[in-house]
A and B are shown apart, each in its own frame.
Chain A
Amino acid sequence: MYPRQFEYSAPASLDEALAALANNPAAKVMSGGMSLIPMMKLRLFSPAVVVDIGKIGGLDSIEDRGDHLAIGALVRHVATANSPLVQQYAAALAKAASLTGDPQVRNQGTTCGAIAHADLAADQTAAVLALGATMVAKSTGGTREIAAADFFVDTLTCALQPDEILVELLVPKAGAGEGSAYTKLGRRGGESDYAVAGAAAWVRKTNGSVDAARVALTGVGSKAVLAAAVGDALVGSDGSATAIEAASAHAAEGVNVLEDLHGSVEYKTHLAKVYVQRALTAALT
């Protein structure tokens, strides 16, 4: 299976890559290629120009910047998953990265690539929503920050413009009383492969009561979405098993659940509740 012909460039610097995108409206960014190459082989998508950012130095670090972590464009899933910083301060993202694809996919694909790809059943998309992360996009015109809540537009569509590169992801660091978690049912059973349904949860507890919570779902609709009603129901409670169960009942409220090859609306609605409950339970322990 060969993709259609295209022109390939692998700029050595970010500025050259941004210029290449600005000069070619038909160009597409490639980071790990773990989603782009399969789509091109299936000829679902045939860009005339591929700008491979994989050779650009300095984009592969995870930095502690005080109140948040910065994850560079070329940080692979395996590095996100194994990073002690991400595990400690953004547990939901480390877990979601560890459950993305399989070992070879995690060695090559990037966290930022998975977010830019915006697959409706991706893992790390839900994690960045629940964690309230911010995407930093660059073009020759400048830099802008996009909140996770505004980033996912539709299936395989995010807020990035064609000439923009997602250069880093900023994730707030969990402080005292805060915890996060991600869990899913994979298409191959257990937690393997894309999510039939998955949930990420972030919770903050102060003086024994939940004063903030954010929950996101993946796999159940056209994109990763915030399940706002769950957070609203949990805030003010003691975060007990009973409170979690009651809040989880709201998982699909206001969410456009869609049927696909992997399950009916009824089944996905049920899974949303189950996985929200599990994610909240893990985030609170």
Chain B
Amino acid sequence: MEVSLTVNGQAVTSEVEARTLLVHLLRENLGLTGTHVGCETGYCGACTVHVDGTPVKSCTMLAAQVEGAEVTTVEGLANGELHPVQEGFWERHGLQCGYCTPGMIMTAAGMLADNDNPSEDEIRHGIEGNLCRCTGYHNIVRAIEYAAAKMRGDEPAAPDWEVV
């Protein structure tokens, strides 16, 4: 079967099987390997993309389900310059190996689009569907706080690490 959709602003049509998952359409048919596959069971969130502006897990959606939809992957987030969340992960060292990062960034971007002034608790619950095996989450939370401040037009808090 064929699916037609918009990916990162571009109209695409691709040949898929009924059982093709959205993440495989993106990675294998369209070569957009920024979206990662971690667990394939719906738990780790590495495959998070936006469908019509909403974060979802692309390993747990059929390509057929996104017929006609607008999909944004991490590759489509920057708009000439880095998205505030991408900048936050850079500035606040929100990653180590980077495996979880695209999913974390897409989840955080979705969260901040709804609420650009989340509490630390709201941020931690907001990334409940994304697992990171490296960072211990601390700097991810700081990175999202940085991005939230930027999106509100505030000065981000200084980094909480000590420079020696």
Contact = CB atoms under 8 A, between A and B. Distances in A.
A108 B60 contact: yes
B56 A37 contact: no
Interface string B59-79: 011101101000000000000
Contact of B107 (A5, A34, A50, A104): A104
Contacts of A42: 41
A107 interface: yes
Interface string B125-137: 0101110000000
Contacts of B1: 8
A101 B57 CA distance: 12
Contacts of A101: 129
Nearest to B19: A3
A279 B110 CA distance: 32
A87 to B, nearest CB: 17
B84 interface: no
Given A2-B19, A5-B18, A33-B60, A104 B65 contact: no
Contact of A37 (B45, B60, B111, B130): B60
A61 to B, nearest CB: 17
B128 A38 contact: no
B109 to A, nearest CB: 12
Contact of B54 (A2, A3, A8, A107): A107
Contacts of A34: 42, 60
B56 A108 contact: yes
Interface in B82-110: 107, 110
B45 A50 contact: no
Given A5-B19, A8-B1, A104-B45, A41 B40 contact: yes
Nearest to B110: A103
A37 B128 contact: no
Nearest to A188: B128
A85 interface: no
Interface string B1-44: 10000000000000001111100000000000000000011100
A37 B41 CA distance: 9
Contact of B67 (A10, A38, A103, A104): A10
Contacts, number: 75
Contacts of B126: 103
Interface in A47-97: 50, 52, 54-55
A45 interface: no
A33 B19 contact: no
A1 B110 CA distance: 26
B128 A7 contact: no
B48 interface: yes
Given A38-B60, A52-B65, A108-B60, A103 B41 contact: no
Contact of A192 (B54, B55, B128, B130): B128
Contacts of B61: 33, 37, 108
Contacts of B111: 103
A149 interface: no
A104 B19 contact: no
A276 B140 CA distance: 36
A10 B18 CA distance: 11
A147 interface: no
Contacts of A192: 128
9 contacts: A4-B19, A6-B19, A37-B21, A52-B65, A55-B67, A105-B129, A108-B57, A108-B60, A192-B128
